[in-house]
Structure 1
Amino acid sequence: MSYIKVPKILLPQNIDMSKWAIIACDQFTARPKYWTELEKYIGDSPSTYKVVFPEIYLNKVDQEERISSINKEMKRYIDAGLFQEINNFVLVEREVENGKKRIGLMICIDLDAYDWHRVRVPIRATEDTLTERLPVRIKIREKANLESPHAIALIDNPERDIIEPLYGQRNKFKKLYDFDLNMGGGNIKGYEVPQSEKIIPKILSLLNQNEQVKKYGIDAGVLMVIGDGNHSVATAKVTWENIKATLSETERENHPSRYMLVEMINIYSGVDFKPIHRIVYNPSSDFLSGLSKELNGESNVKIVFSDHEDEIKAPDIASYTIMGVQKYIEKYLKENPQSEVDYIHNEGHLKEAVAESGGNTIGIVMPSFPREELVNFVVNVGNLPKKAFSIGEPQHKRYYLEMRKISN
């Protein structure tokens, strides 16, 4: 088993690419204006907006109707001959904040090599998977002809000798796209990497036993971890397991649903981990005192109110604070159904949301998780809680762009 595969990537032809690509569906859930402006900008143009389900609308529109519309739109794009097929890896250059570049490689991962539970598999989750978030996603994927990923798989390659040398050769490769993403997402370029099969052994060399022991203290057998889009990959896994049960051994070998398209990025190359803050609506009067007891420590966490800010004590290790806050919030919500929580990727946006709520609302400013500790943490401790970190600010998250067929 090679764990990864060269994908058959579908890219649209002869359309406005700035209207085609959109931000990941789980972004800007507290900013409805973002999505209404985006929808207005896209208009009647072909767009990935029409084949995904933005989470802000999950409880605001008829789900069955939206899912049916998504699947019909996918079929319409295929029938119209919208796509060209690329049978190689695609090298992606994404402009992020302050002119920095984030470099990735579009690959397929084998879902048989992935698990979100804490087990010894080559491809692992980084955060707890909440099964209650999967049903709508599964409904979409199980009838879908196409996938378009926002998942990012991270490799631990401090030598920078896998993706970075390809980037150094990019001017020799065929350029597939070069445009500015909508809504302030920055520029993105894509290059076809010829003879991509030859790169796979180099990627698999990350499994070298001596290197694993040097990095993690044990031969962990970890090839990559899912840094973003954990629930999307879990959805693909569940859907594949359901399909696999109906297939023969031979049929399972190359079924398109066995694989998932992801962007593979080196954790040491242009990746910034940003905190994901918590906003709690309608908390009880003892919410903060309970949180203080849960955390306690030598550092501080900022608390945002509509008219002032304060601090409470917290551990000086970021992972302990992140786990403590999430553990407390989840326990609290079960006992206080009148309260709600949302997750916001920017401190300025958090303060705006608290101020605009006009009522009993608290914002919790979370610490940053150190990127270089991520894989070691997953190997030796386990998954982080959900929404532990973000790869970049919200507008720099992965956009849906490349597609791939997942049905026979």
Structure 2
Amino acid sequence: MNQTSCFSPAHILLPAEQIPLEQWGCVACDQFTSDRSYWERAAEAAAGSPSALNLILPEVYLEESDVPARVAKIHETMEDYAHNVLTRAVDGFIYVERTERSGRVRQGLVGKIDLEAYSYAQGARQAIRPSERTVEERIPPRMAVRRGACLETPHVMMLADDPACTLIEPIGARKNELRKVYEGELMLGGGHIAGWAVEDPALLARIDAALQGLGSQEAFDAKYPEARGAKPLTLAVGDGNHSLASAKAYWEELKPTLTPEQRETHPARWCLAEVCNVHSPAIEIEPIHRVLFNVDCGAVLLALITWSDGNMAGICFGSSKKQSFTLAGPHIANVLSFEDPVAPLTVGTIDEFIEYFMARHKEARVDYVHDEPAVRALTKQGGVGFLLPPFEKSDLFKGIVMGGVLPRKTFSMGHAEEKRYYIECRKIIE
């Protein structure tokens, strides 16, 4: 096994078999951030059993005065669970099948990400890269939990650009030969999940070879000819961008206290994550649209033409050019397109214009809206919508390669209940 691999086998801890999965697993801490009642229902569902809910700080509570006490309690619970609850282990990867409410099955591999192969610094060209700009103000609350924690549990989902299905799908084809380590329903409509231990050295070697292939210069140059010769990209963050960034920030804080030898092996150098294939039919990537409020649609259109002329973006009516979108107001909707866009993706070009417009119209406000009917409804109330085209999966990696990261709020991966639930754990102290 290649020790320098950016994604490798781990010593993964699991709760004792008698602990119900429906009470143990819980949704990512950054979901339902305006819905306290969801987290109250989650606490009711988990009551009376050990639960990963007790190992996290839901972001809905970040403004509460008792956050330090909550963090202390989390650390105390981790110590307890490490000794008394997490009594099973897998040495390798866990192959996961998550059945969503639609019936689609999302396949993934849980292992550990090498934080030395990842950076969220703007312009960094590491093997592992964020998909969206990291908002550094979101890191400290998560750092507070990780600092002093003996365990981690992941909701990070990484994506591989693997159209030939070389990494995950061959493992899924052999799942009947593997030891099943968990199966059940997830709380509050999270769907069905099952996991199998991947420990056979031949399978581990196969995963490593596929990963090396995906991260090779040859594969990179073939997939992204416009960036030929640039540093290859192996994995991109699909979900949990700020959790991975927090793990990295904690590792960088810890590193100066360690000897060079300790830095090579300290468990905090890695972070558990699930890797999925972006080309899987179960991975839905939807565009996030933009809506301007307190503005006049005609004034927005005139400003758009002025901005385009100033930046030589070549805006015109119709969808015949490179980047098309719909500008929708209360009474009219026009399909427009840019001939010479200023960014690799339509959303980036639109965001450049919105920034220009809002600097000149202090009364304007922007919101990011997930589905088209919601945008149409807001335009009926006076909003001006920028409806973005369907998000092509190949555009996600192309945007990261060509633009460094995607603009914030570019895409959404599934609904809140379809996000990764915390199940597996790993020790991050020696």
Q: What SS is found at the alignment partner of 2:193?
A: strand
Q: Is the counterpart of residue 80 in structure 1 residue 68 in structure 2?
A: no
Q: Could you state the TM-score of these two structures normalised by the residue count of structure 2? A: 0.81
The worse-fitting range, judged by mean Cα deviation, of 361-370 and 207-216 is: 361-370
CA 34–246 in structure 1, closer or farther in 2 if over 3 Å, else same: same
- 2:348 corresponds to which residue? 323
CA distance in 1, matches of 2:107, 2:66: 38
Would you say the 8 A contact 1:109–1:262 is kept in 2? Answer: yes
Q: Is the counterpart of residue 246 in structure 1 residue 257 in structure 2?
A: yes
- 2:14 corresponds to which residue? 11
CA distance in 2, matches of 1:331, 1:233: 32
CA offset digits 1:267-310 (Å, max 9, x no partner): 11232112345688xx5457995597379765555779xxx897
The worse-fitting range, judged by mean Cα deviation, of 160-169 and 194-203 is: 194-203
Q: What SS is found at the alignment partner of 2:257?
A: coil
CA offset digits 1:18-46 (Å, max 9, x no partner): 11111112222243333332222222422
- 1:162 corresponds to which residue? 167
CA 81–42 in structure 1, closer or farther in 2 if over 3 Å, else same: closer
Q: What SS is found at the alignment partner of 2:246?
A: helix
Please tell me the root mean square deviation across aligned C-alpha atoms, in Å: 3.4
CA 211–79 in structure 1, closer or farther in 2 if over 3 Å, else same: closer
CA offset digits 1:191-226 (Å, max 9, x no partner): 011225423133212223322211112143211111
The amino acid of 2:10's aligned partner reads: P
Q: Is the counterpart of residue 216 in structure 1 residue 216 in structure 2?
A: no
1:72, CA displacement in angstroms? 1.8
1:12, CA displacement in angstroms? 0.8
Q: What SS is found at the alignment partner of 1:154?
A: strand
Would you say the 8 A contact 1:127–1:384 is kept in 2? Answer: yes
CA distance in 1, matches of 2:64, 2:382: 23
Matches within 5 A, 1:57-96: 57-96=61-100
CA distance in 2, matches of 1:37, 1:277: 31
Structure exhibiting the larger radius of gyration computed from Cα positions: 2
Q: Is the counterpart of residue 405 in structure 1 residue 427 in structure 2?
A: yes
1:344, CA displacement in angstroms? 6.1
CA 272–248 in structure 1, closer or farther in 2 if over 3 Å, else same: same
CA distance in 2, matches of 1:134, 1:326: 24
The amino acid of 1:103's aligned partner reads: Q
CA distance in 1, matches of 2:266, 2:89: 18
CA offset digits 1:141-179 (Å, max 9, x no partner): 111111111111111111112211110000110011111
What percentage of residue pairs aligned between the two structures are identical? 34
- 2:117 corresponds to which residue? 113
Q: What SS is found at the alignment partner of 1:64?
A: helix
- 1:194 corresponds to which residue? 199
Q: Is the counterpart of residue 183 in structure 1 residue 191 in structure 2?
A: no
Q: What SS is found at the alignment partner of 1:372?
A: helix
CA distance in 1, matches of 2:375, 2:337: 22
1:371, CA displacement in angstroms? 1.0
Matches within 5 A, 1:9-408: 9-13=12-16, 14-116=18-120, 117-196=122-201, 197-198=204-205, 199-217=207-225, 218-219=228-229, 220-269=231-280, 270-276=282-288, 284=294, 293=304, 298=318, 299-301=324-326, 311=333, 315=337, 320-324=345-349, 326=351, 367-408=389-430
CA distance in 2, matches of 1:369, 1:204: 27
Would you say the 8 A contact 2:90–2:199 is kept in 1? Answer: no
- 2:321 corresponds to which residue? none
Would you say the 8 A contact 2:159–2:275 is kept in 1? Answer: yes
The amino acid of 1:185's aligned partner reads: G
CA 190–131 in structure 1, closer or farther in 2 if over 3 Å, else same: same
User: What is the number of equivalent residue pairs in this alignment?
Assistant: 399
CA offset digits 1:217-242 (Å, max 9, x no partner): 21432111111111111111111011
Q: Could you state the TM-score of these two structures normalised by the residue count of structure 1? A: 0.85
1:120, CA displacement in angstroms? 2.4
1:52, CA displacement in angstroms? 1.5
Would you say the 8 A contact 2:156–2:243 is kept in 1? Answer: yes
Q: What SS is found at the alignment partner of 1:188?
A: strand
- 2:311 corresponds to which residue? none
Would you say the 8 A contact 2:129–2:237 is kept in 1? Answer: yes
Would you say the 8 A contact 2:344–2:403 is kept in 1? Answer: no
The worse-fitting range, judged by mean Cα deviation, of 200-209 and 149-158 is: 200-209
CA distance in 2, matches of 1:160, 1:107: 18
The amino acid of 1:400's aligned partner reads: Y
CA 347–174 in structure 1, closer or farther in 2 if over 3 Å, else same: farther
CA distance in 1, matches of 2:402, 2:9: 30
5+ residue gaps, structure 1, are: none
5+ residue gaps, structure 2, are: 309-314, 319-323
CA 310–404 in structure 1, closer or farther in 2 if over 3 Å, else same: farther
The amino acid of 2:408's aligned partner reads: K
Q: Is the counterpart of residue 2 in structure 1 residue 13 in structure 2?
A: no
Q: What SS is found at the alignment partner of 1:380?
A: helix
Q: What SS is found at the alignment partner of 2:94?
A: strand
